[in-house]
Amino acid sequence: MIMGEGYSHIFNCVFCDQVTIDVASPEAGVIQKFVAKEGDTVEPGTRIAVISKSGEGATHAAPSEEKSDKKASQSSPPPEEVSVAKQEPKAEAKDKAKTPPPKALAKEPQLPPKERERRVPMTRLRKRVATRLKDSQNTFAMLTTFNEVDMTNLMKLRSDYKDAFLEKHGVKLGLMSGFVKAAVSGLQNQPVINAVIDGDDIIYRDYIDISIAVGTPKGLVVPVIRNADKMNFAEIEKEINTLAKKANDGTISIDEMAGGSFTISNGGVYGSLLSTPIINPPQSAILGMHSIVTRPMVVGGNIVPRPMMYIALTYDHRLIDGREAVFFLRRIKDVVEDPRRLLLDI
């Protein structure tokens, strides 16, 4: 029996998934039939049931419902269909008020026309470099440590002896030979950085082959200076010049780029201030050099301008601990800042 207070039934609301709500009847009566079935989706104004007037075949109402029955019995309208539009359920009206307006469909991004693009196949060199660098990222537990170097003494050494050096050896004295010699000293002090992991073993190398990263118009190549630990400044400079010329001419051979136990990359020639170089597999570490910038430094209690360079060592943390990496980079700093250490072996 339907009372004036309303009745409960389950219908799918257009503003929600599935809820139980009270739909108020306009008057008391008995449900003749349901127009809407349980589970149907209805909108305001849709007929959901047909009721008869309260006096025909109605059962007695409970005491709490008598007030509604008396009010409804004052008039005897013919049976009619209940319209949801006459009084929307409070819960439904509340949900309707909270329903946000539909969002506008996102427009497709305006891309440049294909006529303004060029598709060029990757060179074999570029594909090889990409593969090796990605393999390096996927294999090594790479970590980078940094330090800074005061270049004053090494630059003064080059300035004082560049003419005599060129006259005797037929090659200019550069900064790279100083860093190669410093790296050799550091590798001799920390041999694990010159080692490599092979399966469950560690291979310690009793030779030092330094790879020098060289940028060419066709891509990055890494020629190797063999037995750098047995070479002097002049021999290193000559080998660097020879390999760099071949790399730029495209005449460098595979054998001249194969192997290497440690790599030096000089991004400073392009103006790089700081970077985290990627290890050249299967090596275990790489030294990154950067641009020389004059900065104010405290020397002997006074602030003076100094030519400073940031240096970075990226290493395989599976093999090399932070202690060895920091000691190695500190050795580079000590030798470059005071090249006399090489002569005295201290």
- Tell me the pLDDT tens digit for each residue of 94-109: 555 556 666 656 677 7
Mean pLDDT of 116-132: 88
Cβ neighbours of residue 254 under 8 Å, at least 6 residues apart? none
Distance of alpha carbon 162 from alpha carbon 343, whole angstroms: 19
Q: pLDDT tens across 200-240, in order? A: 999 999 999 999 998 888 888 899 999 999 999 999 999 99
From the CA atom positions of the chain, what is the Rg in Å?
42
* Strand pairing class (285-299; 80-83): unpaired
Confidence at 72, pLDDT banded by 50, 70, 90: very low
Spatial CA neighbour of 280 closest among 132, 165, 157? 132
Distance of alpha carbon 254 from alpha carbon 233, whole angstroms: 25
Top-confidence residue, 92 or 332: 332
Q: Where in the chain is the domain with CATH 3.30.559.10?
A: 124-344
Spatial CA neighbour of 290 closest among 303, 308, 278, 273? 273
Write down the catalytic residue from 321, 334, 338, 345. Answer: 321
Token pair for 299: 């020397």
Spatial CA neighbour of 213 closest among 120, 275, 152? 275
How far is the first Cα of the chain from the last one, in angstroms, to the nearest whole number? 105
Residue 279 · residue 315 · CB < 8 Å: yes
**Which fold would CATH assign to domain 124-344?**
Chloramphenicol Acetyltransferase (3.30.559)
**How many Cβ atoms from other residues are within 10 Å of residue 275's Cβ?**
16
Distance of alpha carbon 131 from alpha carbon 188, whole angstroms: 31
Active site residue 200: no
Distance of alpha carbon 214 from alpha carbon 194, whole angstroms: 21
Distance of alpha carbon 55 from alpha carbon 49, whole angstroms: 18
Amino acid 302: pLDDT: 96
Q: Burial level of 241, CB count in 10 A (0-12/13-18/19+)?
A: middle
Write down the catalytic residue from 317, 334, 338, 345. Answer: 317
Q: Burial level of 260, CB count in 10 A (0-12/13-18/19+)?
A: buried
Amino acid 92: pLDDT: 52
Distance of alpha carbon 81 from alpha carbon 103, whole angstroms: 36
- Give whichever of 71-80, 84-93, 98-107, 309-318 has the largest mean pLDDT: 309-318
Average pLDDT, the chain: 82
Distance of alpha carbon 236 from alpha carbon 332, whole angstroms: 17
Active site residue 321: yes
